[in-house]
Structure 1
Amino acid sequence: MWPITPLLLALALQAVWSETSSNDTKEDFPCKVVDGDHVYDLRELASRDYWKFEETLHTGLFESGVVYMSFCHPLRNVPVVCEGENVGVCETKKDDTGSEVPLGSRGQVSSRGPVVTEEGWVNYVFESGAKCNKSTHDATYKTYVHLSCARDTASETAGPILMSSPGCERTFAWITKAACPVKAEITTDSCTVKFSNLDYNLNLHSLHAEKYYNVSSSKAKYELNICGPVTGGHCGSEAATMCDVTDPSAPVVLGTLEGMDIKWENEALILSYKHQENSVKVMLFCKRTATSPVIDFVENNNKEVVLSVKTAAVCPPDEAPECVIEDDKGNVYDLRSLRKEQGNWEVVDERDDHKVC
């Protein structure tokens, strides 16, 4: 990571970052990444409609420009318009009157989301911006933001610092607490996973079936339970968590509670079972709309059975309720004006037969 030095700050000359807030915190694009047993979450940065970077360059001429940037969603409520789809970075230039003239998109919001590097910082890349006339290869503008963890307030910068802008690329560095990894504390015995930054437990016991789940592939049939044994099935073992029951008269135990493990792997929470030479890998993915777990067979490879589960049980809580709602007919309802800065709304039931004594 580049050190922040007086020379570096001089290059940015009078650069000022400001931001506006929005109550609409819907995440349209990936905003966090799981790396091993750590979570990197940029939702704090995404809570802004945009970040505004203003730069004054003393190059013999008095010139100034503005860059608008947003994370995990397209730019919102920006005072200028940059043409393009899902614009995440927009660059403008001020004319003699102080008005801003759009220079074009400098990159779209990342559909991949943040990426953790081997060095331990987070990269967020805005690609496929407007066509760049500075290139002879029909290139488009691209913006890189390198986010490094600020361990304390003193080392945190107010916003990204422009490191370089050669040709068709813009590179920023930002030392921020939002880029600090948070360790996900996993307790195998209780079958819970805690995100310490949210102080919230993902309790997998809610996925435990009273008896078991039936899972099948084109060649095999299985009985599975999560965070508990298969009950009343064909396994014949009190600790069995998954069995191959393709032949009900000769069931094969594939995993037990004693061989259970929980860990993060990319963006999935992995529940593993083992028994002798057999193993089971259950990949749990967040799906908020799932009222019951959706279990799919993935593969059976070298005595390892892999399953995929989509469930709301592994989703962290929303940071804020959704206040801008769109129905299936395209009507948009904005309830943000009902928010009270102080106190709460009170409802009084004045019906004669519903009075409270």
Structure 2
Amino acid sequence: MATSADVTPGGAMDEERVQQFLEQVISDSAAAVAGLCTSLGDRLGLYAAMAGAGPLTSAQLADRTGLAERYVREWLAAQVAGEYVDYAPGTDTYVLPDEHAAVLADQDAPTYAAGFFTLLQALYATEDALMTAFRTGEGVGWEEHGPALFAGTAKFFRPGYAAALVPEWLTALDGVVEKLERGALVADVGCGYGYSTTLMAQAFPRSRFRGFDFHRPSVEAAREIVAEQGLGDRVSFDVATAQDFPGEGFDLITFFDCLHDIGDPGGALHHAEEALADDGTCMLVEPNVSEHAEENTNPIGRAITASSVAVCLPSALAQHGPQALGNHAGEEAMREIADEAGLHHWRLAAETPVNRVYAVGR
């Protein structure tokens, strides 16, 4: 916010401050365009082909990937400009440093982040729909986005879940791991492609897991994934909303990064309370951002709050429910909703730079 200190006598602007902000915006625009190159590098396997390969010419990389050398050479130039890839002019070769490969090339690494860029095609494609939503106050439903949103969301969240879900988050819930080891019944609400569901199922073969999502294409993708992994004996996926998913007596009900996308989060938690076993637990995984705008002035806060503008808030508004939280409503607001739903016990159980994990029960 501008103050009197930012303005020179006579009302003239601080030109140095203007230039500094201009550089910031140009840097942001460069990152926005370069994001397309990052997505291409991820989806075409360019980063994976460079990982651990040492110095490569553009022709060698084209041979490794089966791509057109001229395009590969142009892509490499952009990667060098962004300091993603190192270039040796004397040998005309390019290297993807191991440290960069850990972020861009290995989809199983907890540091893998390139999956986020898959989302870009879906987000930019709905700009016109968002403009209409801004003017009317209506929503833009999850299902109105392109397939890249669904695949990209699953791809982005999977590494973090794989790294923390079983060894850290579940162990932070009182008595839950013991139940899962003996054999428990679990509902994964808003499961998407089901990566969270299958990660739990792989770790706890005596338990049974049911994934629910209102988005049929995601449920179908989840069914294919679970069949490929051979987990059909203990995992199933069904189309259902958070307010009407079937079943009861669940020892654990999970909401992974989805409660804020629901138009009636109170109704979802009320239904979960009714479906829980007597000593059951709800686990809510939500973005690690603040309800106070000034506390989100960091890269993670910026990415998450921008995602709320593009996806989370419009998705909730499209459901015409009583509440549209956005993804940074804050812990207190969610705790009040849970309490009104009959879930009176609330505890921050675990935390990562991206997520906060709450243990919730009666």
TM-score computed with the length of structure 2 as normaliser: 0.24
Q: Which has the higher contact order (CA 8 A, sep 6+)?
A: 2
Which structure has greater helix proportion? 2
Larger of the two Rg values belongs to structure: 1
Q: Structure 1-normalised TM-score?
A: 0.24
Greater fraction of residues in strand = 1
